[in-house]
Amino acid sequence: MLEPRHIAIIMDGNGRWATKRGLARTAGHKAGVEALRIVVNEAGKCGLQWLTLFAFSSENWSRPDSEVTELLMLLKLFIRRDLGVLNKNNVRVRIIGDRIHLEPEIRALLDEAENLTRANTGLNLVIAFNYGSRDEITRAMQSLGADIAAGRLDPRSISADLISAHLDTSGMPDPDLIIRTSGEMRLSNFLLWQAAYAEFLFVECLWPEFGAKEFKDAIASYKMRSRRFGGIDGTSCSTPACEASANNDEFLPVEMVKAAGIK
Ligand code: FPP
């Protein structure tokens, strides 16, 4: 049976959860942080290697100011309150998304979380904040374009691996399973490149209702899947990220990056 190495979650339905209870949407986001804590804890207990959570998209800035402010505040609170426990539990925190346009206080907190937990060897907790796939791919293309313009890169040497290595997720295995709560069935600009061979699970419950049982059920459902990566026996994918997933063996990003000749 398959063991997932990387699970990514679109935590959807906080607003509906709150509205159903006659509460402000921001109460739903607060309840969402509680669900997040439960799932991170459960992922650590299961021995999962990678967990990516979509906490704030590059499109979420279009929400009312009060809601955006609340989400920024919840991120700050989460890092201030939970970083010590995460570190004690050997969790390594990583952030993906555009950091440059975030306020300096948040940038400093994100840097602190990554730096403090850098040497940890347990669960890799990836928080997608101010993240959007199209933005991520655009930034990667700008970086490759700059290398070409400066004569550092021959366009003929651009490969899928080189593109992967320029994304925010460089060095991470592709997600094996993407879960979205709240019954919506779309990716909403989340890990579009990385999801090429991901399995999907759409569950009806709203994110604040998603707990340890739902997480374990999701893993059980993944284990029953048959992955073929475009081939017929699950070993036919030619990219290192796919092969690593298919073989469920160690992913060697540094070697890949060196082999691709990236500085
Ligand atoms: C989608 O639900 C959820 C979000 C846009 C934010 C997810 C954020 C959290 C779970 C808490 C924040 C955590 C951190 C660490 C910052 P929605 O509001 O779109 O729900 P709806 O579709 O029911 O309106």
SS (H, E, C) the chain: CCCCCEEEEECCCHHHHHHHCCCCHHHHHHHHHHHHHHHHHHHHHHCCCEEEEEEEECCHHHCCHHHHHHHHHHHHHHHHHHHHHHHHCCCEEEEECCCCCCCHHHHHHHHHHHHHHCCCCCCEEEEEEEECHHHHHHHHHHHHHHHHHCCCCCHHHCCHHHHHHCCCCCCCCCCCEEEECCCCCCCCCCCCCCCCCCEEEECCCCHHHCCHHHHHHHHHHHHCCCCCCCCCCCCCCCCHHHHHHHHCCCCCHHHHHHHCCCC
Choosing from 60, 89, 120, 189, the catalytic residue is 60
- CB 40 near ligand 1, within 6 Å: no
Q: What is the pLDDT of residues 177-190, one digit of tens each?
A: 999 999 999 999 99
Q: What is the pLDDT of residues 190-229, one digit of tens each?
A: 999 999 999 999 999 999 999 999 999 999 999 999 888 8
Atom of ligand 1 nearest to the CA of 25: 18
Catalytic-residue membership of 89:
no
Atom of ligand 1 nearest to the CA of 16: 23
- CB 12 near ligand 1, within 6 Å: yes
**Ligand 1 centroid, distance to 54 Cα (angstroms):** 8
Question: All domains of the chain, ordered by start, with CATH?
Answer: 6-138+172-226+254-259 (3.40.1180.10)
Q: Which of 123-137, 207-221, 243-257 is least confident?
A: 243-257
Q: What is the pLDDT of residues 1-59, one digit of tens each?
A: 899 999 999 999 999 999 999 999 999 999 999 999 999 999 999 999 999 999 999 99
